[in-house]
Protein backbone atom coordinates (compact mmCIF):
# COMPACT_ATOMS: atom_id res chain seq x y z
CA UNK A 1 0.00 0.00 0.00
CA UNK A 2 2.96 2.31 0.53
CA UNK A 3 3.95 1.80 -3.10
CA UNK A 4 0.41 2.54 -4.28
CA UNK A 5 0.26 5.66 -2.11
CA UNK A 6 3.50 6.92 -3.62
CA UNK A 7 2.38 6.18 -7.19
CA UNK A 8 -1.01 7.81 -6.68
CA UNK A 9 0.37 10.72 -4.66
CA UNK A 10 -2.01 10.12 -1.73
CA UNK A 11 -1.65 9.00 1.88
CA UNK A 12 -1.45 5.33 2.81
CA UNK A 13 -4.65 5.72 4.84
CA UNK A 14 -6.46 6.93 1.72
CA UNK A 15 -5.23 3.87 -0.17
CA UNK A 16 -6.51 1.63 2.62
CA UNK A 17 -9.93 3.26 2.59
CA UNK A 18 -10.27 3.04 -1.18
CA UNK A 19 -9.15 -0.59 -1.48
CA UNK A 20 -11.31 -1.67 1.46
CA UNK A 21 -14.25 0.46 0.31
CA UNK A 22 -14.41 1.75 3.87
CA UNK A 23 -16.79 4.57 4.89
CA UNK A 24 -15.17 7.98 5.46
CA UNK A 25 -16.32 11.15 7.18
CA UNK A 26 -15.00 13.21 4.29
CA UNK A 27 -15.90 11.64 0.91
CA UNK A 28 -12.99 10.62 -1.30
CA UNK A 29 -13.19 12.25 -4.70
CA UNK A 30 -14.00 9.97 -7.64
CA UNK A 31 -10.82 11.12 -9.42
CA UNK A 32 -8.73 10.15 -6.37
CA UNK A 33 -10.38 6.75 -6.16
CA UNK A 34 -9.70 6.13 -9.84
CA UNK A 35 -6.06 7.19 -9.44
CA UNK A 36 -5.61 4.77 -6.51
CA UNK A 37 -7.29 1.89 -8.38
CA UNK A 38 -5.18 2.56 -11.49
CA UNK A 39 -1.99 2.52 -9.42
CA UNK A 40 -3.10 -0.73 -7.76
CA UNK A 41 -3.73 -2.37 -11.13
CA UNK A 42 -0.47 -1.09 -12.56
CA UNK A 43 1.53 -2.43 -9.59
CA UNK A 44 -0.30 -5.77 -9.69
CA UNK A 45 -1.82 -5.39 -6.20
CA UNK A 46 -4.00 -8.29 -5.11
CA UNK A 47 -5.59 -8.39 -1.64
CA UNK A 48 -5.26 -11.61 0.32
CA UNK A 49 -8.85 -12.50 1.28
CA UNK A 50 -7.77 -14.90 4.04
CA UNK A 51 -5.58 -12.28 5.69
CA UNK A 52 -8.35 -9.71 5.41
CA UNK A 53 -10.82 -12.18 6.91
CA UNK A 54 -8.54 -12.80 9.90
CA UNK A 55 -8.47 -9.11 10.78
CA UNK A 56 -12.21 -8.69 10.30
CA UNK A 57 -12.16 -6.67 7.09
CA UNK A 58 -14.30 -7.36 4.07
CA UNK A 59 -12.91 -10.22 1.95
CA UNK A 60 -14.84 -9.04 -1.14
CA UNK A 61 -16.04 -12.63 -1.57
CA UNK A 62 -19.65 -13.80 -1.87
CA UNK A 63 -20.50 -17.43 -1.24
CA UNK A 64 -23.06 -18.97 -3.61
CA UNK A 65 -24.62 -22.34 -2.75
CA UNK A 66 -26.16 -23.58 -6.01
CA UNK A 67 -28.83 -26.25 -6.25
CA UNK A 68 -27.62 -27.97 -9.41
CA UNK A 69 -24.68 -27.01 -11.64
CA UNK A 70 -25.87 -29.33 -14.42
CA UNK A 71 -29.27 -27.65 -14.88
CA UNK A 72 -29.14 -25.22 -17.85
CA UNK A 73 -31.20 -22.68 -15.91
CA UNK A 74 -28.78 -22.60 -12.97
CA UNK A 75 -25.83 -22.39 -15.38
CA UNK A 76 -27.30 -19.12 -16.70
CA UNK A 77 -27.93 -17.93 -13.14
CA UNK A 78 -24.33 -18.64 -12.08
CA UNK A 79 -22.98 -16.68 -15.04
CA UNK A 80 -25.22 -13.71 -14.22
CA UNK A 81 -24.19 -13.91 -10.56
CA UNK A 82 -20.49 -13.86 -11.40
CA UNK A 83 -20.89 -10.92 -13.80
CA UNK A 84 -22.89 -8.85 -11.30
CA UNK A 85 -20.54 -9.62 -8.40
CA UNK A 86 -17.44 -8.72 -10.42
CA UNK A 87 -19.06 -5.45 -11.52
CA UNK A 88 -19.20 -4.54 -7.83
CA UNK A 89 -15.63 -5.65 -7.11
CA UNK A 90 -16.53 -9.02 -5.60
CA UNK A 91 -15.61 -12.59 -6.50
CA UNK A 92 -17.76 -15.70 -6.06
CA UNK A 93 -17.00 -18.86 -4.07
CA UNK A 94 -19.26 -21.64 -5.38
CA UNK A 95 -20.67 -24.54 -3.40
CA UNK A 96 -22.76 -27.36 -4.87
CA UNK A 97 -25.88 -28.41 -2.96
CA UNK A 98 -27.36 -31.01 -5.31
CA UNK A 99 -29.58 -33.41 -3.40
CA UNK A 100 -27.58 -36.41 -4.56
CA UNK A 101 -24.32 -35.13 -3.10
CA UNK A 102 -23.09 -34.85 0.47
CA UNK A 103 -24.11 -31.47 1.86
CA UNK A 104 -20.70 -31.14 3.50
CA UNK A 105 -19.26 -30.13 0.10
CA UNK A 106 -21.18 -26.85 0.14
CA UNK A 107 -20.62 -26.37 3.87
CA UNK A 108 -16.86 -26.88 3.64
CA UNK A 109 -16.49 -24.71 0.56
CA UNK A 110 -18.60 -21.78 1.62
CA UNK A 111 -19.37 -21.78 5.30
CA UNK A 112 -16.78 -23.45 7.50
CA UNK A 113 -13.97 -21.09 6.58
CA UNK A 114 -16.18 -18.04 7.27
CA UNK A 115 -14.21 -16.04 4.71
CA UNK A 116 -17.20 -14.78 2.71
CA UNK A 117 -18.95 -11.49 3.34
CA UNK A 118 -22.39 -12.96 2.58
CA UNK A 119 -23.96 -16.18 1.27
CA UNK A 120 -26.51 -16.49 -1.54
CA UNK A 121 -28.70 -19.58 -1.84
CA UNK A 122 -29.50 -20.27 -5.50
CA UNK A 123 -32.42 -22.65 -5.90
CA UNK A 124 -34.89 -24.47 -3.65
CA UNK A 125 -33.01 -26.07 -0.73
CA UNK A 126 -35.85 -27.80 1.15
CA UNK A 127 -34.13 -31.16 0.82
CA UNK A 128 -30.97 -29.81 2.48
CA UNK A 129 -31.99 -29.51 6.19
CA UNK A 130 -28.43 -29.64 7.49
CA UNK A 131 -27.36 -26.84 5.16
CA UNK A 132 -30.35 -24.68 6.10
CA UNK A 133 -29.79 -25.33 9.79
CA UNK A 134 -26.20 -24.16 9.54
CA UNK A 135 -27.20 -21.07 7.59
CA UNK A 136 -29.81 -20.06 10.17
CA UNK A 137 -27.00 -19.63 12.67
CA UNK A 138 -24.52 -18.10 10.24
CA UNK A 139 -22.61 -15.01 11.34
CA UNK A 140 -22.72 -13.69 7.77
CA UNK A 141 -25.96 -12.56 6.09
CA UNK A 142 -27.84 -14.97 3.85
CA UNK A 143 -29.95 -14.02 0.82
CA UNK A 144 -32.06 -16.61 -1.04
CA UNK A 145 -32.84 -16.66 -4.77
CA UNK A 146 -35.47 -18.86 -6.47
CA UNK A 147 -36.63 -20.63 -3.32
CA UNK A 148 -39.88 -21.80 -4.92
CA UNK A 149 -42.23 -23.20 -2.28
CA UNK A 150 -39.61 -23.25 0.50
CA UNK A 151 -40.61 -21.65 3.83
CA UNK A 152 -39.53 -18.01 3.95
CA UNK A 153 -36.45 -17.98 6.23
CA UNK A 154 -34.14 -15.35 4.73
CA UNK A 155 -34.43 -12.15 2.69
CA UNK A 156 -35.41 -13.60 -0.69
CA UNK A 157 -35.76 -12.67 -4.35
CA UNK A 158 -37.91 -14.74 -6.71
CA UNK A 159 -40.06 -14.72 -9.84
CA UNK A 160 -43.84 -14.25 -9.88
CA UNK A 161 -44.66 -17.66 -11.33
CA UNK A 162 -48.41 -17.12 -11.47
CA UNK A 163 -47.89 -13.95 -13.48
CA UNK A 164 -45.70 -15.91 -15.91
CA UNK A 165 -48.30 -18.62 -16.49
CA UNK A 166 -50.98 -15.96 -16.94
CA UNK A 167 -48.88 -14.20 -19.60
CA UNK A 168 -48.37 -17.46 -21.49
CA UNK A 169 -52.04 -18.43 -21.35
CA UNK A 170 -53.22 -14.97 -22.39
CA UNK A 171 -50.95 -15.21 -25.42
CA UNK A 172 -52.45 -18.56 -26.45
CA UNK A 173 -56.03 -17.52 -25.71
CA UNK A 174 -55.48 -14.32 -27.67
CA UNK A 175 -54.47 -16.44 -30.66
CA UNK A 176 -57.78 -18.31 -30.39
CA UNK A 177 -56.78 -21.44 -28.46
CA UNK A 178 -59.10 -22.93 -25.87
CA UNK A 179 -57.95 -26.57 -25.89
CA UNK A 180 -54.77 -25.91 -23.93
CA UNK A 181 -52.91 -28.65 -22.07
CA UNK A 182 -50.24 -28.48 -19.37
CA UNK A 183 -47.01 -30.47 -19.25
CA UNK A 184 -46.08 -30.04 -15.60
CA UNK A 185 -42.47 -30.86 -14.73
CA UNK A 186 -41.45 -32.01 -11.25
CA UNK A 187 -39.78 -28.91 -9.82
CA UNK A 188 -37.39 -28.92 -6.84
CA UNK A 189 -39.09 -29.04 -3.46
CA UNK A 190 -42.35 -30.16 -5.06
CA UNK A 191 -43.04 -26.59 -6.21
CA UNK A 192 -46.54 -26.52 -7.74
CA UNK A 193 -46.88 -22.76 -8.22
CA UNK A 194 -46.87 -22.98 -12.04
CA UNK A 195 -49.11 -26.06 -12.05
CA UNK A 196 -51.65 -24.52 -9.66
CA UNK A 197 -51.65 -21.20 -11.55
CA UNK A 198 -52.50 -22.99 -14.80
CA UNK A 199 -55.38 -24.89 -13.18
CA UNK A 200 -56.84 -21.78 -11.54
CA UNK A 201 -56.61 -19.58 -14.63
CA UNK A 202 -58.01 -22.21 -17.00
CA UNK A 203 -60.93 -22.87 -14.66
CA UNK A 204 -61.61 -19.13 -14.43
CA UNK A 205 -61.60 -18.74 -18.22
CA UNK A 206 -63.23 -21.99 -19.40
CA UNK A 207 -64.92 -23.50 -16.34
CA UNK A 208 -63.09 -26.82 -16.55
CA UNK A 209 -60.04 -28.59 -17.92
CA UNK A 210 -60.65 -31.63 -20.15
CA UNK A 211 -59.66 -35.00 -18.70
CA UNK A 212 -56.09 -35.94 -19.49
CA UNK A 213 -55.03 -32.39 -20.35
CA UNK A 214 -52.62 -32.16 -17.39
CA UNK A 215 -49.52 -34.38 -17.56
CA UNK A 216 -47.07 -34.53 -14.65
CA UNK A 217 -43.63 -35.64 -15.81
CA UNK A 218 -39.96 -35.65 -14.74
CA UNK A 219 -38.08 -32.40 -15.41
CA UNK A 220 -36.39 -33.80 -18.55
CA UNK A 221 -36.83 -33.63 -22.29
CA UNK A 222 -37.86 -37.29 -22.18
CA UNK A 223 -40.66 -36.31 -19.83
CA UNK A 224 -41.91 -33.81 -22.38
CA UNK A 225 -41.79 -36.42 -25.13
CA UNK A 226 -43.86 -38.89 -23.11
CA UNK A 227 -46.41 -36.21 -22.22
CA UNK A 228 -47.08 -35.02 -25.77
CA UNK A 229 -47.43 -38.57 -27.08
CA UNK A 230 -50.17 -39.18 -24.50
CA UNK A 231 -51.84 -35.83 -25.16
CA UNK A 232 -51.94 -36.28 -28.92
CA UNK A 233 -53.45 -39.74 -28.45
CA UNK A 234 -56.54 -38.30 -26.72
CA UNK A 235 -59.87 -38.43 -28.62
CA UNK A 236 -59.88 -34.62 -28.68
CA UNK A 237 -56.22 -33.57 -28.48
CA UNK A 238 -55.11 -30.08 -27.43
CA UNK A 239 -54.21 -27.43 -29.99
CA UNK A 240 -51.70 -25.83 -27.61
CA UNK A 241 -49.43 -26.84 -24.75
CA UNK A 242 -47.86 -24.92 -21.89
CA UNK A 243 -44.72 -26.58 -20.48
CA UNK A 244 -43.57 -25.48 -17.03
CA UNK A 245 -39.89 -25.54 -18.09
CA UNK A 246 -38.10 -25.06 -21.40
CA UNK A 247 -36.27 -28.35 -20.92
CA UNK A 248 -39.58 -30.20 -21.01
CA UNK A 249 -40.82 -28.03 -23.89
CA UNK A 250 -37.82 -29.16 -25.98
CA UNK A 251 -39.02 -32.75 -25.54
CA UNK A 252 -42.52 -31.70 -26.63
CA UNK A 253 -41.16 -30.15 -29.83
CA UNK A 254 -39.04 -33.22 -30.60
CA UNK A 255 -41.88 -35.71 -30.09
CA UNK A 256 -44.37 -33.62 -32.06
CA UNK A 257 -42.01 -33.65 -35.03
CA UNK A 258 -41.47 -37.42 -34.69
CA UNK A 259 -45.27 -37.91 -34.69
CA UNK A 260 -45.69 -35.82 -37.84
CA UNK A 261 -47.39 -32.92 -36.05
CA UNK A 262 -46.12 -29.59 -37.31
CA UNK A 263 -45.44 -26.84 -34.77
CA UNK A 264 -47.13 -24.34 -34.74
CA UNK A 265 -49.62 -25.32 -37.50
CA UNK A 266 -50.89 -28.41 -35.65
CA UNK A 267 -49.73 -27.57 -32.15
CA UNK A 268 -48.59 -24.38 -30.42
CA UNK A 269 -46.03 -24.71 -27.63
CA UNK A 270 -45.07 -22.27 -24.85
CA UNK A 271 -42.18 -22.90 -22.44
CA UNK A 272 -41.01 -21.25 -19.24
CA UNK A 273 -37.53 -19.86 -18.30
CA UNK A 274 -36.03 -18.83 -21.68
CA UNK A 275 -32.84 -20.84 -21.29
CA UNK A 276 -30.23 -20.36 -24.02
CA UNK A 277 -31.35 -23.31 -26.15
CA UNK A 278 -34.92 -21.96 -26.43
CA UNK A 279 -33.90 -19.57 -29.20
CA UNK A 280 -32.28 -22.38 -31.20
CA UNK A 281 -34.94 -25.10 -31.22
CA UNK A 282 -36.80 -25.85 -34.44
CA UNK A 283 -39.02 -23.94 -34.49
CA UNK A 284 -37.65 -21.41 -32.02
CA UNK A 285 -39.57 -21.67 -28.75
CA UNK A 286 -42.05 -19.07 -27.53
CA UNK A 287 -41.46 -18.91 -23.80
CA UNK A 288 -41.77 -16.97 -20.56
CA UNK A 289 -38.49 -15.19 -19.93
CA UNK A 290 -37.19 -15.54 -16.40
CA UNK A 291 -35.89 -12.13 -15.21
CA UNK A 292 -32.52 -13.64 -14.23
CA UNK A 293 -30.52 -10.42 -14.50
CA UNK A 294 -33.00 -8.45 -12.36
CA UNK A 295 -33.26 -11.16 -9.70
CA UNK A 296 -29.49 -11.61 -9.48
CA UNK A 297 -28.87 -7.86 -9.40
CA UNK A 298 -31.29 -7.42 -6.50
CA UNK A 299 -29.91 -10.46 -4.66
CA UNK A 300 -26.29 -9.28 -4.94
CA UNK A 301 -27.24 -5.71 -4.00
CA UNK A 302 -29.09 -6.94 -0.92
CA UNK A 303 -26.29 -9.34 0.13
CA UNK A 304 -23.67 -6.58 -0.08
CA UNK A 305 -25.92 -4.11 1.75
CA UNK A 306 -26.45 -6.57 4.61
CA UNK A 307 -22.73 -7.40 4.71
CA UNK A 308 -21.71 -3.75 4.94
CA UNK A 309 -24.37 -2.66 7.43
CA UNK A 310 -24.63 -4.89 10.53
CA UNK A 311 -27.68 -2.88 11.62
CA UNK A 312 -29.63 -3.68 8.42
CA UNK A 313 -32.59 -6.00 8.93
CA UNK A 314 -32.09 -9.67 8.10
CA UNK A 315 -35.77 -10.44 8.66
CA UNK A 316 -37.30 -12.86 6.12
CA UNK A 317 -39.04 -11.02 3.29
CA UNK A 318 -39.50 -11.56 -0.41
CA UNK A 319 -39.22 -9.42 -3.53
CA UNK A 320 -40.83 -10.82 -6.69
CA UNK A 321 -40.10 -9.89 -10.30
CA UNK A 322 -42.60 -10.38 -13.12
CA UNK A 323 -41.38 -12.39 -16.12
CA UNK A 324 -42.09 -11.46 -19.74
CA UNK A 325 -43.24 -13.21 -22.90
CA UNK A 326 -40.74 -13.90 -25.69
CA UNK A 327 -42.72 -14.64 -28.85
CA UNK A 328 -40.92 -16.86 -31.34
CA UNK A 329 -42.14 -19.35 -33.96
CA UNK A 330 -43.66 -22.15 -31.87
CA UNK A 331 -47.06 -20.45 -31.47
CA UNK A 332 -49.74 -19.46 -33.99
CA UNK A 333 -53.50 -19.35 -34.39
CA UNK A 334 -55.13 -22.80 -34.40
CA UNK A 335 -56.33 -24.27 -37.67
CA UNK A 336 -59.75 -23.06 -38.71
CA UNK A 337 -59.32 -19.61 -37.12
CA UNK A 338 -58.34 -16.81 -39.44
CA UNK A 339 -57.23 -13.28 -38.67
CA UNK A 340 -59.84 -10.59 -39.40
CA UNK A 341 -58.99 -8.40 -42.37
pLDDT above 50 for 265: yes
pLDDT of residue 100: 46
Q: What is the pTM of this model?
A: 0.78
Residues 6+ apart with CB under 8 A from 249: 183, 224, 241, 243, 269, 270, 271, 272, 278, 281, 285, 287
Question: Which has more pLDDT, 339 or 228?
Answer: 228
Question: Which has more pLDDT, 190 or 317?
Answer: 317
Tell me: the pLDDT tens digits for 92-117? 988 776 654 444 444 544 554 447 89
Assigned CATH topology for domain 161-290: Rossmann fold (3.40.50)
pLDDT of residue 340: 43
Tell me: the pLDDT tens digits for 46-98? 665 555 555 556 778 898 988 888 888 888 999 999 999 999 989 998 877 66
Closest CA to 332 of 286, 275, 277: 286
Contact 102, 80 (CB under 8 A): no
> Which of 99-103, 140-144, 301-305, 336-340 is predicted least confidently?
99-103
Domain ranges of the chain: 2-46, 61-159+291-321, 161-290
Alpha helices of 213-271 — where are they, by DSSP H?
A: 221-232, 246-258
Question: Which has more pLDDT, 25 or 58?
Answer: 58
What is the average pLDDT across 6-14? 89
pLDDT above 60 for 210: yes
Decide which of 3.40.50.2300, 1.10.357.10, 3.30.565.10, 3.40.640.10 is the CATH code for 61-159+291-321: 3.40.50.2300
Q: Do domains 61-159+291-321 and 161-290 have the same CATH topology?
A: yes
DSSP 41-109: HHTT----HHHHHHTT----EEEEEES-TTSHHHHHHHHHHHHHHHHTT-EEEEEE--TTS-THHHIII
pLDDT above 60 for 182: yes
Closest CA to 335 of 271, 240, 244, 252: 240
Amino acid sequence: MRDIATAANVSQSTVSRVLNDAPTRVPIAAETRERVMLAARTLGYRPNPLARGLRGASTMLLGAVVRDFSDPFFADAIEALAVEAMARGYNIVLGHAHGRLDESIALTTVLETRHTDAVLLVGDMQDQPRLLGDLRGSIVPVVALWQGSSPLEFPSVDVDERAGILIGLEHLIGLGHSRIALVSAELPGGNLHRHDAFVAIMQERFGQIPDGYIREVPRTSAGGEAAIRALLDLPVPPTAVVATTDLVAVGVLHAADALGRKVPDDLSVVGFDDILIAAYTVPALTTIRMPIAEIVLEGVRLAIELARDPAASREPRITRFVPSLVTRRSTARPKGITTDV
